[in-house]
């Protein structure tokens, strides 16, 4: 994730739960929405995410009515979602 800050999910101002990805290019200081492949996690907030090499590891969260225990990986070079095997 060098040169970028990646943000996943959350809740917008209308109370809609999100599962989108937005990234900040920290060299040019501009935000963009990468084109993603794979199956994304369900919309959520209150999750944990950390960088591990070129991957973002996402765990847990909730959508206001359900708590999640899944782990997902987002390859931030290929912009591809995957789950551990």
Sign of CA dihedral 37, 38, 44, 50: negative
Question: Under DSSP, is residue 13 helix (H, G, I), strand (E, B) or coil?
Answer: coil
Say if residues 1 and 27 touch (Cβ distance below 8 Å).
Answer: no
Res 2: pLDDT: 66
Neighbouring CB atoms inside 10 A of 74's CB total 24
- State the average pLDDT for the chain: 96
pTM value?
A: 0.92
pLDDT category of residue 26 using cuts at 50, 70 and 90: very high
pLDDT above 70: residue 1: no
Residue 77 and residue 39: Cα distance in Å, rounded? Answer: 16
pLDDT in tens, 44-83: 999 999 999 999 999 999 999 999 999 999 999 999 999 9
């Amino acid at each position: 994730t060098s040169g970028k800050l990646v943000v996943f999910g959350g809740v917008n101002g209308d109370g809609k739960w999100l599962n989108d990805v937005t990234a900040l290019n920290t060299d040019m200081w501009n935000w963009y929405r990468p084109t993603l492949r794979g199956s994304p996690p369900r919309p959520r907030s209150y999750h944990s995410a950390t960088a591990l090499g070129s991957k973002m590891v996402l765990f847990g969260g909730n959508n206001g009515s359900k708590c999640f225990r899944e782990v997902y990986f987002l390859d931030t070079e290929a912009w591809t979602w995957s789950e551990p095997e």
